[in-house]
Each structure stands twice: as structure tokens, then as C-alpha cells.
Chains A and B, each alone.
Chain A
Amino acid sequence: MQALNRHIHPGWLIIAPLLLMVVALYLGPILNILWLSVTDPEPGFGNYAKLTEGDALIRIVWTTVRICIITTVFSVIFGYSIAYAMVHCHQRQKTYMLTLLLVSFWISILVRTFAWLMLLGRKGLVNVTLEDIGLVAEPIAFMRNELGVLIGMVHYMIPYAVLPLLVSMQSIDQRVMDASRNLGASGSQTFWRVYLPMTMPGLVASTLLVFILSLGFYVTPAVLGGGKVLMVAEYISVQLLVTLKWGTAAMLAAIMLFGVLAMLWIMSRFMKLSTVFGGAAR
């Protein structure tokens, strides 16, 4: 035991339970899925080749990527605005803003999805109100299309976009902006040429975080898309639970997984990952 201690730090003993559990019960089956993607139903890259045959799968991947990009753009712009306002206001107001942000963060995804269902339906509150005040003659189709999915997803992702930006903006020295103004730059010049570049790490982290989370998003697209907007996550679940085709599902999961890992790697070059999630968890 003494000899062992000299080579291995005793701290590893208390790391081991969680580490072993995650390796055995999480990493193991994930590797198994990667393996399945090249062996089920037959060995080879047949599953990957399906992407090039016919356009059904490609269309699903493309829908997913497109919706994720639009969601990310809107969430990050809105998130930037919120974070900027939070950093540049009085402490008291900031506390209120943070409370609202975190409460929305904490409200169950199912409750929120249910709420959108009630608001956006043909006879939902939004359409009824619009018709009552005579703005529209026909109810607007918010649901069972990409518009509804986008509204639900942006709504869910904004808090995730705000938190890395907040961390990054709070670490900026205000005196740099004062210096820029003193040297004769206008307010907008200072913003575009000094402030925005300085928040770039937060911006990148926030963009990638939202994009990653959107990629695998299941609940909102499945409900608000109403079967009309098919994204990768929902397609995987149908493959597994209804048609029992592990191969195709595993292939899509593998592509998604590698995409996510690549983005995490990029992200880790801009910001310490634990800061991003540390902020997200708080």
C-alpha cells in the first residue's frame, strides 16, 4: 500500500467510484453506439453511405443544422443585449434581471413547452388576441412549422447564451472604454472596435454552447413541430423506439457526437470549459 501510494496519489481513491461508474455505464455504451454505426446491420460504412443515397436523411440533417443556426443567431444577439444591459446598470436592477433570468432557466422545459402549445395554437391566446383586435383575419400558423420550433427553441436557449457572455463582460476593465472615448472615438466606434472584440471569447463560447445544446434538442421540436419539422433527435428516437433500426440511428448519433466534440474543442481554446458550465449551473 505504501509503495502504491508513492506512485499513485491517494486522491485517486475517492475519484475512482464516479470515474469507474461513468466509464462503465456511460462511456462504454457510447462507444458501443459508435461501433454499431459501422457494424449494424452489416459491417462497413453502409450506414454512412445512406446519407448520399436519396435525400430524406440529408434533408433531416439540413433541417436540423438550419434550425440550430437560426436559433443560435437569435439567442446570442438577444443574449448579448441582455448581458450588456445587466453589466451596465445599477446593482439593484441587475439583481432583478438576474432573478428573472434564473427563474426562466429553472422553469421546467415541459411547462414551457406546454405554455407555448397554449399560446401558439390555432385557437391559442396569441391568435385569439390578434383576431380580437383585428390585426389578422386568419389565424397565423405558429405551430407544426419551423416558426413554432424556432420560437420555442430561442426562448429556451437565451439564458444559456447570456451566462457565458455575462462572465466575459464582467471581466472587462471599464477604463479601456473610457480611454477610447478620451482618445476621441465615438460611442459606436468604441463599441464596435473596442468592446465587441474584447467580448469575443464570451461570444464564441456562447455561440457554440447554444449551438451544441440546440443540436440534440428533442422536446420542443417534437411538440411544436408536430411531426412536420423532423430534426435529428426526433428521427433517432423514432428509429429506436418504433422501427428498431439501430444502425441508422447510431450513424446519426456518431456524426452528432463528433460534431459536438469538435465544437467543444474549439470552445476550450477560447474559454475554460468549467467557467462556461460553472456559470450555467449557477
Chain B
Amino acid sequence: MKPGLFSFFNRVGAWVLLLFLVTPALIAIPVSLTPKRFLSMPQREYSLRHFQKLFTSEEWLSSFFQSGVIALSCSALATLLGTLCAIGLWRVSSRYSELVRAFLLLPLIIPQIISAMAFYRLWIPLGLLDSYAGLILAHTILAAPMVLITVSASLATFDPKLEQASKNLGASNWTTMRRVILPSIRPGVFAGALFAFILSWDEIVVTLFISKYSVYTLPRRMWNGIRENTDPTVAAAAVILIAITLIAFAVSAVLSRRNARAQAE
């Protein structure tokens, strides 16, 4: 199609929309620099006191720590289970395995409020409410489908003949998995691990239901701050989160570029 007037206006509109998507979050930056004790835009004066408070407050630091522990454990567990499962589904590839795959994607699409209800319901009798194990398990179930998707995407480009060749040359199943399959799907595994980490790090709905006092993750503390709507420390935390997002994004961009290069070779 010839790039007409319509196309031009549409492109301008698209840019405006894309900026609309990204810029609102940036308001956290000026708000976090306010010298006042309440949420406000700074007038001429700036101060870092809320960042100082963020990094000296035991509550916020422990939330950062707890979220980190939970997200790392969830990412490790989801990556392990998800990768194994993806390889299994890829090797079976029958009508049943496709059904199982569709079923395993459900936690990603079923509304989080329903997942939250389900975990809450089961965690009460299991005594997992308000515990690290409870949060890690719940987040792992939500995050494993992500890993399944990214690893399956990597497997789709993997040549099954390589596996055959490895076995014909006398390698055991385990050796084939470790030395042939895993290295070639590494980008998918890394991407899955990263997504699982972010999902857990950012998860709030399920967390609201299954945590109370002893486990208080970062999103939970931010949620509280947002609800109370007074303390600018939330703004400082938001700025830190935006910075972490940008760093994670850069890492993933580098990874996917490396992935593309590996596939081109």
C-alpha cells in the first residue's frame, strides 16, 4: 500500500499512544523528590529524604528482601518444572500432550482473582497461609506456564535429528538432554526464568489473599502505601521499581538479540 495521508496520521497517532503508555509512570520521579512529608509535586526544592527513608526503613528493606527471595525461588522452581515439562511435551507430541499443554496454560489466563480464591481456599487447611512456601508454590504455578511457552518456542526451532544423532552415537537420555537439548534451548530457558521472576516480583492479587503479617512482599507494601495515599516513600519505591524494570528489560533485549544471532548461524 502506498503510504498515504491516512497512514501518516495513523503513525503519528500510534506514537502519541505509545508515549501515553510509558510517560504516566514517570510522574513518580518528581513526586519522589518532594521535600514535604506528604505526597505532592515539589516546588523548586528537591530532596532525597524519601529515598533515604526507603533504604533505612526496616519494613521496606525486609519487603525488598522477601520479594527477592520469593521471586528467585519461584523463578528457579518454575524454570525447572516448566523446562522439564516442555521437553516432555515436545517429545511425546500426541493429541493428549497438546491437551495437557492447553490445560497447563490455564493458570496464566484464568482471572487472578479466581486463582487467588483457589489458593486461599486450599492454603487454609494446608497451613500454608502467610508463609514463604505458600507464596512460592502459588507463584510457581502461575509462572510455570510462562516458562512452558518460552521453552516450547525454543524447542520448535530445535532439529529433532540432533537428538537422534546423539542417541545413535551412544549417548544416554540424560547425556543427550544435558549436552544436546539444553544448550540449544538455553535462550528460551533464560527468558522463561526472567518472566517467572518478574511475575512473582510483581504479583499482588494472589499475594493479597495468601499473605498477612509474617510475609509482606514489596507489591503488598506498595499496595498499602497506595491505599493510604499519604507517604511519599511509595513514590521512591516506584522509582526504584521503574529502574529495575528498565535494567531487566535491557538484559532481556541483549538475551533475545543473542538468541536471534544464534538462530541465524
Main secondary structure of the interface of B (DSSP, over half): helix
A50 CA / B139 CA spacing, docked (Å): 33
Contact indicator A115/B27 (Cβ below 8 Å)? yes
Q: A47 in the interface, Cβ–Cβ < 8 Å? A: no
Min CB distance, A200 to chain B, in Å? 18
Contact indicator B92/A15 (Cβ below 8 Å)? yes
| Candidates A30, A191, A257, A274; contact of B152 at CB < 8 Å | A274
Contact indicator A18/B113 (Cβ below 8 Å)? no
Q: B39 in the interface, Cβ–Cβ < 8 Å? A: yes
Q: State which of B8-16, B48-56, B68-76, B164-172 sits at the interface with chain A.
A: B8-16
Residues of chain A with a CB closer than 8 A to B242's CB: 107-108, 111
Residues of chain A with a CB closer than 8 A to B87's CB: 11, 14
| Complex interface residues of chain A between 176 and 208 (CB less than 8 A to chain B) | 177-178, 181, 187-188, 190-191, 195
Min CB distance, B228 to chain A, in Å? 11
Min CB distance, B123 to chain A, in Å? 9
Q: Flag A119-138 by CB within 8 Å of B: 1 or 0 each.
A: 10000010010000000000
Q: A76 in the interface, Cβ–Cβ < 8 Å? A: no
Q: Flag A216-246 by CB within 8 Å of B: 1 or 0 each.
A: 1111000100000000110011001100001
| Complex interface residues of chain B between 95 and 132 (CB less than 8 A to chain A) | 97, 100-122
Q: A84 in the interface, Cβ–Cβ < 8 Å? A: yes
Contact indicator B246/A103 (Cβ below 8 Å)? yes
A152 nearest CB neighbor, chain B only: B24
A109 CA / B244 CA spacing, docked (Å): 14
Q: A210 in the interface, Cβ–Cβ < 8 Å? A: no
Q: A260 in the interface, Cβ–Cβ < 8 Å? A: yes
Q: Apart from A14-B88, A21-B81, what are 17 other A-B pairs with CB-CB below 8 Å?
A: A14-B85, A14-B87, A19-B104, A21-B141, A25-B119, A26-B107, A82-B17, A84-B14, A103-B249, A106-B245, A108-B222, A118-B27, A118-B31, A181-B2, A218-B113, A219-B223, A256-B111
Residues of A within 8 A of B (CB): 9-19, 21-22, 25-26, 28-30, 32-33, 36, 78, 81-82, 84-86, 88-89, 97, 99-104, 106-119, 125, 128, 155, 158-159, 174, 177-178, 181, 187-188, 190-191, 195, 212-213, 215-219, 223, 232-233, 236-237, 240-241, 246, 249-250, 253, 256-257, 260, 264, 268, 273-274, 277-278, 281-282
